[in-house]
Structure 1
């Protein structure tokens, strides 16, 4: 991070250098011209105000303005009469201004002259005006030393201030560069930790800018990676455990078949059917894992169509007939003749998973009801059973991956249901009471009529 800190430090110095260069040009190199221009404009302004006051014989205002201007002021008619201002003796009415400068037809003029007696250089503003119906000249003069002395003070103070500012700027540049690069150092450290597998990184960057947004994104990324890592570990652990059992059973049945000498067809078929059931169980588990992975990866794209909910439910129930054979379970459908919008194959998967859970929850005899309630622009689908139910404190866990309320199945059925319904933007929830049954609710958009 030294590179960025160094670049920031140099950038601060360059910007400061440019500012000081402009300040140096204005306060040192061109200060004389700038201040002279300012004083000339100031004298011009006072000359206009004093001339207007004299033209109306307002001597009080004229005197106040003269005092305020800090200049020597005289007003002389073209006939040579001094009508206002300093009553000094000597050449030029005591201000040392050569009379030739008064013999001008210009309305306003600015001149520099040297006092003939004392050699003082002065600046004069001469304005023509009308005084009691006579042409007159108003003269305001200041010594040039007032300008040069001021510029010398500016220059001397500038270099002192420059030295102080350079020290302050260097200190502030170091502090600011460290302060600005510290969040970047923290982000770098967090990225290195995440790359090395440490996902417990928590960044606390409070800068109220894009760096804080980046830190929040990295925290979110670390959390998601941690969740994904946990999911991977759970997946491996559960799959290993769940596949090991059926594989052991298949191996045992196969060994018994190899060791079986005789013509007991019934026993052989029983062993083969048991092995096939375990193969089907493993196949279902693998299929569920692949389905959930696809849904969570965003690879599944919805194919929205309009379909009759009753036809789909009847089709799903029909596929469970072999499983229901010999069981005292009744399935009742109510108010399902409605056209809804959705991905029919994915909704089929939802209904199959819910129906499968309901069948598993009923040990001996029971009732499963599949119905719908029409509400505004959607249909609420309800799958209810009279099974053993789910404990209230465990209801919040039923949608988690690998949750097995009865240690049967893959524990992925409701996790798949959740992902499919989230893709559809459906609202869903579950209600259950021990030894009374469970009801699962979800919504589907009705077809626009």
Structure 2
């Protein structure tokens, strides 16, 4: 397949060649008409001058005069009989020639035809003089010097124009190849995801349009790549979280299962175990199974929240009284820990069971991650838990309420559902969890419900 520059040259060359051929044909016929017109006028002038000689029947004198013009003379009467002719060979049916017939009808006649004698075109001019017809014949010559000069000039213009076209084609080829190289490099840059790369083309508007389209393509690919990367990162994050969740669940279940398995195996192997020790082992098994049941309940509750399967059952209750019940329960769970409760009567309308779960999760977290006493207070519909534990970094505060999120190296290997459940419960009640924390100094978790 031809390149653009080659096509340009060939098309230009073809156009120039066509122009040269048309110019040659037009000039040839133009020169021919001019020569015929001039020679016809010349011959008629000669006929006007020699008419009296024809009347005097001085034909030899006419032949000598006209011989100087390299022509021939023929005189016939109106019956077609030749009176005089200086031609070496005679013509047949002379009276029927077109120029003769025109002279008979209108007094003058002109015709141009090829002569086998002269091997070229011959101009025939006839005129009626008294009772005779005089015909002069003159071989036509189109190859005058100025005609040849014109054709040489025209051919020179053709050669020069062809060379200029060849030069322009070479320059166009260079510019096109440079622009195409720029476009090829840009394609490679796009293939290598270098979407910020730019390039310059200035050969023609079509190349500028290609540049604009490629720029739009690069922008779309960049956006698509960003979406792809974002989606990939999201998949990786989900996969990582899934592995961490499996690890957390495995760890959380491993300890109580090991306790149950160990104490149960001991009970089975020692049938003479003292009742007091047996009772203690049974309590350990019960506590471990309760822990497993609690973790399963949390997972089930989180799934219900995820599927929007829970609707708050509103009722009026005292937040202070509910907080006291939660603290009392957790005090039994953590008998060696101190929980300071400061509360005032605060009647609210909410789902009591859900708010109890929220309070229990917040206090339980504070007890887990702080060795010092935990403070709890209720006042005018507000519930707060404050600890002086490990605290949270600023970037962790924004993520701590997300499902399965766990703070690395700071929090225990829990499933990361407690604060997610709290946050979702408060969302169902038109409230939100407010967190204030300072790393290594402690945290405060609060939420507020409208008083009834």
TM-score, normalising length: structure 1 = 0.47
TM-score, normalising length: structure 2 = 0.47
Structure number, greater radius of gyration: 2
